[in-house]
Amino acid sequence: MKKRIYNSMIFLVIFTVLLTSSLITGIIYRGFYYRIQEEIRNEALFISIGLNQNGEAFFSELENKGVTNRVTWIDADGRVLFDNVAEAKDMDNHLDRPEITEVLKNGFGESVHLSKTMGSQTYYYAVRLNNGTVLRVSTTTDSIYKLVLNFIPYIFIICLTVLFMSLLIANLLTKKIITPINNLNLEKPLSNDIYDELSPLLSRMEKQNEKIENQFNEIKMRQEELRSIMENVSDGIIVLNSKGRIISINNAAAFIFDVGLEECVNKHILVLSRSSVFQEAVEAAIKGNSYENTITKGSSIFNLLASPVKDDKPVKGIILFVLDVTEKANAEKIRREFSANVSHELKTPLTSILGYAELLKNDMVKVEDISSFASRIYNEARNLINLVEDIIKLSRLDEKDPHFLFEEVDLLRLTENVVERLSSIAQKKEIDILVNGVKARIRGVRQILEEMIYNLCDNAIKYCDEKSKVELTVSVSNDNVILTVSDNGPGIEKEHQSRIFERFYRVDKSHSRGSGGTGLGLAIVKNGAKFHNAKIELFSKRGEGTKISIIFNRE
């Protein structure tokens, strides 16, 4: 814009100078031409008066009177009688000259003759005398074209001077014109104090800015909503363009692949993982097909879903969902193992019962052994019932049975009641059971809490040697109530400590089978703690005993 204004001003100045010079030259020439005409007329009138009064003798006085113009005397037939420049007898007949023809008709006449070769023009003025002859006076001057040619050097110098000054002035004016436009506050157009001609444009800009700002705020709000949703989604979400480069990635996905949010943007998806599953997912989505598969990273299992974003046929982008299914997979594994273990645990007593019953049925047992066989059948049936009951308890805990009633429970008093129930079993092994601590009330399901304490204490009694000690303690710490069951039994090896709360897991399978346990006691404790939002801590060392603490929130 600045260049166009600058060039326009220079062109205007040059055009103005040339036009002004031409007009001034024309006006000056015209004034000069009229003055010459007036002088010729006056001189012709002066000479005609002299000739009318003095006759031919007057021509002899012309030289003394300083006449500089050409004077010609012509008779009525066009023959030249006198000429002060040339010999009259050598001159042609002038009857056909325009000024002569006109003067014979009107009494005076005039004409202009332009010489193209000489670049001059001659002005003729003729007057008819009293005796019928004609007096013609003429003068020769430069033509307008020659005059202009003569002025060209001066005009050129003037143009150069004006052009130089115009360049300086045009530059200053251009800056002065452009500077306010360059300094426009485009964010607040109406606050600019500038040319009135720009007011409509600035008003439209103000409206457009408002519209753009509203649209921008709306887009920003939607982006914030989308970003907030993506950041708070627990599953990984990765957005790719049609070439497989990362456009956006949420915190969950960045955590899964252990990368920074910014360091992987605009990079290919393979910077996250070079597994064949990832490559297949991206390739399938680029072709417009959905894809689903499972990937493993460390100990975690993820379900990978690839969905193409299509507008008709071309794929505009790809959305990858990385769903953590570790818990689901582990739960499925636990269910399979549980089903297998339940089948095995149920099959063992049933097989034993069936075997004893078959012997009795076929009268293959001595009379004195029938009581022993019946006792074995009874014990196996009792174990079978206990197993079924424990399975039912676990199922109710897993499903968070709504029929469980929460109430205020004195944990110390409940512990004392459980110990009273187990005292006869402890006395058989000469094991001392001690209850210590303070009264502490928690909100929970009495039935589940009682079962948890019973299983912990029963487990300690079963695995302790004879004449040992089991101690139960209830304590309060900050906002927690802690129930601790400790014994001085054989302890648990470190490699088993992370698994003892699994269903049917036994450290010593032969000993556990003989103890009559179902293998679900500690699993019930774990699920009961989870049901009450409590934590379990285990401290055990081989040969030094075991201590298990359940930490309840105090509400």
Q: Are 384 and 347 in contact (CB under 8 A)?
A: no
Q: Which residues contact 281 (CB under 8 A, 6 or more apart)?
A: 291, 293, 304, 306, 320
Within a domain: 174: no
What's the alpha-carbon Rg for the chain, to the nearest Å?
63
Place of tokens 């004077």: 71
| Cα 507 from Cα 513, distance rounded (Å) | 11
Within a domain: 171: no
Within a domain: 455: yes
Q: What is the per-residue pLDDT for 193?
A: 65
Claim to verify: residue 410 and residue 549 sit in the same structural domain = yes
CA 278: distance to chain centroid? Answer: 26
Claim to verify: residue 280 and residue 195 sit in the same structural domain = no
Can you list the residues of the chain whose pLDDT is less than 50?
510-514
* Residue-wise DSSP of 85-146: SS-GGGSPP-TTSHHHHHHHHHSEEEEEEEETTTTEEEEEEEEE-TTS-EEEEEEEEE-HHH
Phi-psi region at 249: left, alpha or beta (left = phi > 0; alpha = psi -120 to 50): beta
Q: What is the per-residue pLDDT for 35?
A: 79
Place of tokens 């023959």: 79
Instruction: Name the nearest CA neighbour of 487 among 511, 464, 510.
Output: 464
Tokens of 360: 């009795």
Within a domain: 70: yes
Q: What is the per-residue pLDDT for 513?
A: 47
Instruction: Name 476's bridge partners.
Output: 481
Phi, psi (degrees; rounded to nearest 5) at 268: -70, 150
Claim to verify: residue 342 and residue 303 sit in the same structural domain = no
| Cα 94 from Cα 91, distance rounded (Å) | 8
Q: Are 388 and 360 in contact (CB under 8 A)?
A: no
Claim to verify: residue 335 and residue 383 sit in the same structural domain = yes
Give the other-Cβ count within 10 Å of 303's Cβ. 16
State which H helix or E strand residue 207 sits in: helix 199-232
**What is the domain extent for residue 203?**
185-226
| Cα 188 from Cα 184, distance rounded (Å) | 9
Q: Are 341 and 519 in contact (CB under 8 A)?
A: yes
Claim to verify: residue 117 and residue 196 sit in the same structural domain = no
Which residue type is seen at 63?
Answer: E
Instruction: Name 442's bridge partners.
Output: 409
CATH code for position 334: 1.10.287.130
Claim to verify: residue 375 and residue 280 sit in the same structural domain = no
Helix (H, G, I), strand (E, B) or coil at 174: helix
pLDDT tens-digit series, residues 281-319: 888 888 888 888 888 887 788 888 888 887 766 788 888
Claim to verify: residue 23 and residue 139 sit in the same structural domain = yes
Instruction: Name the nearest CA neighbour of 305 among 324, 331, 326, 287.
Output: 324
Tokens of 240: 């790719």
Place of tokens 């220079």: 10
Of 294, 324, 354, the residue that ends a domain is 324
Tokens of 312: 């008709």
Give the other-Cβ count within 10 Å of 533's Cβ. 10
Claim to verify: residue 393 and residue 296 sit in the same structural domain = no
| Cα 552 from Cα 448, distance rounded (Å) | 13
Claim to verify: residue 392 and residue 437 sit in the same structural domain = no
Q: Are 324 and 305 in contact (CB under 8 A)?
A: no
**Quick one: three-class SS letters along 362-428?**
CCCCCHHHHHHHHHHHHHHHHHHHHHHHHHHHHHHHHCCCCCCCEEEEEHHHHHHHHHHHHHHHHHH
Of 324, 341, 363, the residue that ends a domain is 324
Residue 457 gets which letter from DSSP? H
Claim to verify: residue 508 and residue 419 sit in the same structural domain = yes
Helix (H, G, I), strand (E, B) or coil at 357: helix
Helix (H, G, I), strand (E, B) or coil at 554: coil
Of 133, 148, 163, the residue that ends a domain is 148
Claim to verify: residue 416 and residue 306 sit in the same structural domain = no
Q: What is the per-residue pLDDT for 510?
A: 47
Within a domain: 475: yes
Claim to verify: residue 256 and residue 246 sit in the same structural domain = yes
Within a domain: 172: no
Long-range residue pairs from 5-13, CB within 8 A, at least 24 positions apart, any chain: 5/174, 5/177, 5/178, 6/170, 6/171, 6/174, 9/166, 9/170, 9/173, 9/174, 10/163, 10/166, 10/167, 10/170, 13/162, 13/163, 13/166, 13/170
| Count of structural domains within the chain | 5
CATH code for position 493: 3.30.565.10
User: Pseudo-torsion of CA 521, 525, 528, 530, nearest 10°?
Assistant: -130
Within a domain: 153: no
Kindly report the pTM of this predicted structure. Answer: 0.44
Within a domain: 175: no
Which residue type is seen at 360?
Answer: L
* Residue-wise DSSP of 532-551: TT-EEEEEEETTTEEEEEEE
The fraction of the chain above a pLDDT of 70, given in percent, is 81
**Burial group, residue 285, by CB count within 10 angstroms (0-12, 13-18, 19+):** buried
Per the prediction, the chain carries an average pLDDT of 78
Which residue type is seen at 327?
Answer: E
Helix (H, G, I), strand (E, B) or coil at 200: helix
Q: Biggest alpha carbon distance in the chain?
A: 201
| Cα 483 from Cα 552, distance rounded (Å) | 8
